[in-house]
Structure 1
């Protein structure tokens, strides 16, 4: 009997650990997937466009950004609730339904391959369609286990404060969606990061040939490269040389596959990325859909570049006719160049976006609303804040994300009893307030009914038949008021008229 009890305890402990582990795996996957989508809403919206084109649902293309935000919010909130063990009954069910939709979809993508990358982790992690399908199968199996066992392990937070974790998570993820839509993604997972030198990134990873020179001094031979040849005055003498292949030095980003700019039929890429001075590119994948609310700032920046001798080029993938319409409507005079639409979308998000280069290095990616106005454009770019490289430190930004989310969650965890007590007091105060108002309303209704009954009494009860005037008091007769029945207190009346469900709530 004792051994049976021990085995049951061990089994219960094992089940709790499995529930904890599966919550961590499934919830963590959903949190990561939803958050990287929230960091880059435009990237997910472009992926939705690919899906709608593959399934012939182009009429939904106008809502891609809305779908992008909604998907990131749903995934993030489901992951948070599953990770914290909140709403232990409904959360696994919702996750199960979500995966029941996504798993067949990814199976179709793996078989038909209409899209090479499903985009489930944005640009942060790229998975093949088959890898995505098997990932969803594993998550679906773990979720089925949680459907039946999630209640065996209590959540991290009490029921009274679980809605607060959901509310803060919603605000948190929407904040980064707002940053990604109106500015640039807070974390950049693309190859065109700030600080990347485009000419170097175009050739990174390619084998290069290098000459090695052999010199001799005091009977000892040593190898040198072309950059550090020894001076012959020190006694070095040339012996031989040979050629070898070396790996190009790695840049801050993966190699860039495509970066070609055309002016008409002429390739002007080298002219732009090899310019040692400043060069500003106005990027727009589609000028017919570009936001023209800040065209004055853009035109002022172009005039400033003309005055100080900097290059300013509008790079688009629109047709020449659409480009002409844009120039006519905005009064712009800057030259137009053309680039592949996918490349423009990969470089920077938003339509349009301003890219600041110097010597082929990306210094800034700016939304038009962030551009300096004409009152600030009074000095050369190297003397302005706009001309200095934007500080992009991904490690610090990741640290800020963790602190901004986990610190409030930790404070709530440490003070949840006090917070639950405050919430309970507020609920009780609201309930008492509703009771008092209802009691006052019932009291007024009772007084009104009493007055109506007195007015409708028969005239014979107050005087002679047919005479509606009150009886005159006789001289010397004592006027004794008729005793009235005492009116019950308002609280007693309210309590006597309480509905059964109200008494149940109060209990």
Structure 2
């Protein structure tokens, strides 16, 4: 049992640290996932939506530090109780999401390792079993450093986590796992790879022939059978595959200009997913940058999901000399974790991407 507890300790500790760090690398993305859970369609606790980012930061830092506490053997009783309560909550949450098909990706490992709802639930069940082993055998969780150093290790871990979190909030995630990372070509990411397998649907047709039930299986064609039709059941071999980028569309008064933008040799994109919540401090530098880009022959445009009135108000307030076009809000949130954010494209390839705070880093 001591050996089993030791194995469980390492597995749980490493997994909590890894999961916490992946989400700490992108706390804004995790806050979007929490907003989805808090929405009316899921848990209906909408009063928490404005605090989603703060809650996200607290959860991921505590998760990461909890993994460190387990590995170094700090306060075994407190640590195992926290682990158990946390995993019970998330097991319930992932089961609820999977059973009622409410949230398609739990966000456990951010965009690094997307999991289906049921995969997330099974992962949490496995973790729960390991944590129960730790909970009932905490006497085997012995410290690996001098106990006097534990508090300093925990304090240093908290400080480093907060410092890293502050950095990614003021800039962008250090590790970008999304399809819109620098170097990716958007048109290529909008296509499925040639080797991608499409889902295969099997039809099970039921007939009553000579008083007996007969089942005929095929891929869709109605069977020519002399008998009474009872019903049909369908089974899908796997989920329908979709390309990494499937919702990138730019529309304006002139219609869909997506291909025109993706074919242009020099493009500066100002991404403002929501004008009501945009950070106004960034527009002085955006004004300077957009003017310089226009002088150098760039196509400059803003992308937003907000309406025409808000667009005009923002343009007038900061004397912006570029137009805004409509794009899906979820797509814009995926493109860049900043509101506003800035990108440059060359024939559809993302060459630069920065937080508005780093607008001066853009090279034209």
What does 1:33-432 align with in structure 2 at a 5 Å threshold?
Answer: 33-53=19-39, 54-206=42-194, 255-264=244-253, 266-276=255-265, 278-372=266-360, 386-387=362-363
Matches of 2:167 and 2:192 in 1, distance apart? 31
Q: TM-score with structure 1 length normalisation? A: 0.60
Report how far residue 39 of structure 1 moved: 0.3
Q: CA 1:169 to 1:275, structure 2 compared with 1: closer, same or farther past 3 Å?
A: same
Map of 1:3 onto structure 2: none
Match of residue 224 from structure 2: none
Q: Please say if residues 338 and 356 of structure 2, whose CA atoms lie closer than 8 Å, have aligned partners that are also in contact.
A: no
- In 2, the alpha carbon distance for the partners of 1:21 and 1:178 equals 34
Aligned partner of 1:19 in structure 2 is: 5
Structure 2: gaps (5+ residues): 197-242
Alpha-carbon distance in structure 1 between the residues aligned to 2:145 and 2:258 = 56
In the TM superposition, residue 204 of structure 1 has moved relative to its aligned partner by: 4.9
TM-score, normalised to structure 2's length? 0.82
Instruction: Quote how far apart the aligned CAs of 1:190 are.
Output: 0.5
User: When you count strand as a share of all residues, which structure comes out higher?
Assistant: 2
Shift of 1:103: 1.6
- Cα distance in structure 2, aligned partners of 1:88 and 1:153: 6
How far off is 1:200 after superposition?
Answer: 2.2
Q: Distance in 1 between matches of 2:129 and 2:44?
A: 32
Work out the CA distance in 2 between the residues paired with 1:164 and 1:338.
50
- Structure ranking higher on relative contact order (CA contacts 8 Å, 6+ apart): 2
User: SS of the counterpart of 2:137?
Assistant: helix
Cα distance, 1:201 vs. partner? 2.1
Contact 1:38-1:177 within 8 A present in 2 as well: yes
Aligned-residue offset at 1:265: 5.0
The answer (yes or no) to whether the contact 1:33–1:121 under 8 Å persists in 2 is: yes
Distance 1:130 1:274 in 2: 40
Larger Rg: 1
The number of equivalent residue pairs is 316
- Output the aligned Cα RMSD: 1.8
Q: 1:161 to 1:129 in 2, by over 3 A?
A: same
Deviation at 1:180, TM superposition (A): 2.1
Query: How big is each residue's C-alpha offset from its partner over 1:12-50, in whole Å with a ceiling of 9 and x where there is no partner?
Result: xxx332121001111112111111110001101111111
Which residue matches 1:29? 15
